Structure 1
Amino acid sequence: MRDTLLIALFAFLGAAAAGLLGAGALWLLRRRSLTASLTVVAAVAVTAMLAGTLAVAQAMFLSRHDLSVVTTVVAMAAVVSLITALLLGRWVVARSRDLALATRSFGERGDFAAPALPATAELAALGRELAATSARLARSRERERALESSRRELVAWISHDLRTPLAGLRAMAEALEDGVAADPDRYLRQIRTEVERLNDMVGDLFELSRIHAGALALSPSRMSVYDLIGDALAGADPLAREHGVRLVGDRIEAVPVEVDGKEMSRVLGNLLVNAIRQTPSDGTVAVTVQRETDRVVLSVTDECGGIPEEDLPRVFDTAWRGSHARTPPGGAGLGLAIVQGIVEAHRGRAAVRNVPGGCRFEVSLPVAGA
């Protein structure tokens, strides 16, 4: 037992000395290639074994021949270990270089494709993370391009829509100022109408800017969908009579919701005004409410003849009006964008789909307490 402990002690001392030297070498080479570090690790392992063997051999007084045999065996093991470490290091470095090149192209072109050659688990995981990051960045850039396009389109529409009423206001004001207006009262009424129209447009722009900035402050309270629909139908009834359109509210349940009454009334008002203006005389605009587990779906169905399928995904885009405008004449295409923003601020969803003879706008809201 005592001899075994002595052998273990001599082997440990020899291996420890080799380990200390290897640690120093690794510290000096910490900024160098991975190949150098792997070579040092392999050399430390073989040197530790050789040092321990030599220490034990000297203590046991082995013959010169036996010592040379042991040394030769350890030397051959060292050669094989170093060659293996070098090959492994070069392979890992090559895979790292491939990943670095792919990452560089990711930065230049905005996309990332992981190297096709096999790599270590860590490098493969890093490649997957980079690919996921590339996909997220691509989606972000796409959203940014869409927003920028929407902003440019909005500015163009607003510039166009403001120029016409302002030119009319200027002409009417000059006519009144010069005393050449045949019917001053009619001019004054028209000026008031145009000013109200401009005021509504500015109000829509302000509302949309609050929605996009995330500054839409809601004051939710518990109320019944029945009351919301009833108020909205009463508010839209004069416009419906003017256009000869029937307003129908069927199957409206008294489902409780937690909403900002003012903002949600604006949502329903925008949908009803759009539906009435797009429905021909003697047509019908129907409002329904359907309970679905923890949500309630409010729908407004018109008889506009439908929206082209290729235009459906853009209906709620800012300033979009399509070939058949979904906003009142002179509007800037902001009504449905405001509808979507307010509904999403209430943790709901706004959607549109075609139905026989027209289209249906649906607003899905969570039921109070769900």
Structure 2
Amino acid sequence: PDQELVDHISGNLESVDAEMDFTSITTASSGPTRVVCTKLVLANGQNSVLVIGSSDRYSANAIQTVATVLLLIFPIGCVSISVAAWLVAGLATRPIEQVQHFAENLDPRKLMTDIDLEGDGAEIESLRQELRRAMQRIEKAYEEQARVLANISHEVKTPISVVQTEAQVLMMKKPSPDEYRSFVKSTSEEMQRLGSMVESFLLLTRVQKNDAKVRQKVISTDDLVLESYEQCQSMARQYHVVLNISLNAGEREPKVLGNADLLCTLVNNLVRNAIRFTPEQESVELYSGVDDKTVIIGVRDHGPGITESLLPRLFEPFTQASSERRKGRGTGLGLQIAKGIAELHGGDIVVRNLDVGCEFEVRLPMAEHD
């Protein structure tokens, strides 16, 4: 037997108890050995220790083999997983790359070019449909922008053409003092209209950029209605229209949180629009009220009403009724500005035809605190 193994076992016999004691011992000659020791009491009462040993080379070789295999497989597995992840990531990001390529080559003249995304999954189809809807919205906005620019060009050109034509007529003859005065008056009116249009453009841009929320305070809508009533009286007299006012009669005073100048512009635009469409000697009613937690400012006229074909695009820029249905010329931006201001304050404008005339109703959230 291996003397080194015997010596090791003999030196540790005292630590062996009644239970089995398993241990592994490695010696130079025997190599790894698995040893089991247990105490026995012989028939003569003598205490003995039973020692059974077996070579553990097979287990050691198996462990070594497994370790070697793992060392070889681990880097191969890492490389395989990395390659698989790269391929999967490439397939997953392919639609994104296609969208990026599509966006880089987007042409405003070909907005409805179909987006060809590879793949047939539900997610790809959902992305494809959403991109198509987005392109439709962009195309609509682009067409609206082109239409507005065309209208702006026309509206700006009109007063310039009027002044230029009258000036050319005056240059062709020796004008009288009355003709000079008429020319100056006409020029002044056209320049005022042009200036009003420029101011409307600036205000519309400001409203659309939500640039008006910086100075807000709690405002009494009765005060707004009174201020608008006073500011529009001159125009009402000019068009021979009676402007009436009716303030809230409830217990609660209607108040809103907002920009006083913009809200006054909103009401003025609606009142002046109503005056233009109301026949002489008829009336326009301006009123305020409360509906639960909503403040109401209404304008009711006795004009011809709004044609059904015009209602869906009433708040679009440069939308105006035919000249025979109105008096005077506006900028065509007043209603869009009014609606933009209402939405800026968390409200809306509701319009409806009546038996005689029509009614615009501004609905704004009531201020909770002063």
Normalising by structure 2, report the TM-score.
0.65
| Aligned residue in 2 for 1:343 | 342
Give per-residue Cα distances to partners, 1:295-328, cap 9 Å, x unaligned. Answer: 2121212233322323222111112225468986
Verify: 1:305 aligned to 2:297, yes or no: no
Verify: 1:151 aligned to 2:202, yes or no: no
CA separation of 1:196/1:315 partners in 2, compared to 1, >3 Å: closer, same or farther?
Answer: same
CA separation of 1:141/1:187 partners in 2, compared to 1, >3 Å: closer, same or farther?
Answer: closer
- The letter of the residue matching 2:204 is L
| Aligned residue in 2 for 1:353 | 352
Verify: 1:166 aligned to 2:163, yes or no: yes
Give per-residue Cα distances to partners, 1:219-266, cap 9 Å, x unaligned. Answer: 222221111111211222232233332323235353112222222211
| Aligned residue in 1 for 2:287 | 288
CA distance in 2, matches of 1:367, 1:272: 22
Verify: 1:279 aligned to 2:278, yes or no: yes
CA separation of 1:222/1:215 partners in 2, compared to 1, >3 Å: closer, same or farther?
Answer: closer
Q: Is the 8 A contact 1:102 1:115 kept in 2?
A: no
CA separation of 1:353/1:137 partners in 2, compared to 1, >3 Å: closer, same or farther?
Answer: same
| Aligned residue in 2 for 1:241 | 237
CA distance in 2, matches of 1:18, 1:140: 60
CA distance in 2, matches of 1:252, 1:172: 55
Q: Secondary structure at the match of 1:300?
A: strand
CA separation of 1:153/1:21 partners in 2, compared to 1, >3 Å: closer, same or farther?
Answer: farther
- The letter of the residue matching 1:144 is A
Match of 1:28 among 76, 79, 82: 79
CA distance in 1, matches of 2:322, 2:291: 34
CA distance in 1, matches of 2:67, 2:322: 83
CA distance in 2, matches of 1:321, 1:183: 32
Stretch of structure 1 that moved more, 280-289 or 255-264: 280-289
- The letter of the residue matching 1:28 is V
| Aligned residue in 2 for 1:224 | 220
CA distance in 2, matches of 1:9, 1:138: 69
CA distance in 1, matches of 2:328, 2:307: 20
Q: Is the 8 A contact 1:349 1:365 kept in 2?
A: yes
Deviation at 1:32, TM superposition (A): 4.6
Q: Is the 8 A contact 1:106 1:134 kept in 2?
A: no
CA separation of 1:245/1:327 partners in 2, compared to 1, >3 Å: closer, same or farther?
Answer: closer
CA separation of 1:27/1:365 partners in 2, compared to 1, >3 Å: closer, same or farther?
Answer: same
Normalising by structure 1, report the TM-score.
0.65
Q: Secondary structure at the match of 2:230?
A: helix
CA separation of 1:8/1:330 partners in 2, compared to 1, >3 Å: closer, same or farther?
Answer: farther
- The letter of the residue matching 1:223 is I
| Aligned residue in 1 for 2:264 | 265
- The letter of the residue matching 1:343 is A
- The letter of the residue matching 1:365 is L
- The letter of the residue matching 1:239 is M
Q: Is the 8 A contact 1:157 1:319 kept in 2?
A: no
CA separation of 1:269/1:325 partners in 2, compared to 1, >3 Å: closer, same or farther?
Answer: farther
- State percent identity of aligned pairs: 23
Taking only aligned residues, the RMSD between alpha carbons, in angstroms, comes to: 4.4
CA distance in 1, matches of 2:197, 2:68: 83
Give per-residue Cα distances to partners, 1:78-115, cap 9 Å, x unaligned. Answer: xxxxxxxxxxxxxx99xx69x85996799493557896
Count of residues in correspondence between the two structures: 305
| Aligned residue in 2 for 1:207 | 203
CA separation of 1:349/1:101 partners in 2, compared to 1, >3 Å: closer, same or farther?
Answer: closer
Match of 1:194 among 185, 190, 194: 190
Q: Is the 8 A contact 1:326 1:333 kept in 2?
A: no
Gaps of 5+ in 1: 38-91
| Aligned residue in 1 for 2:8 | none
Greater helix share, structure number: 1
- The letter of the residue matching 1:167 is Q
Gaps of 5+ in 2: 1-19, 24-55, 107-112
Greater strand share, structure number: 2
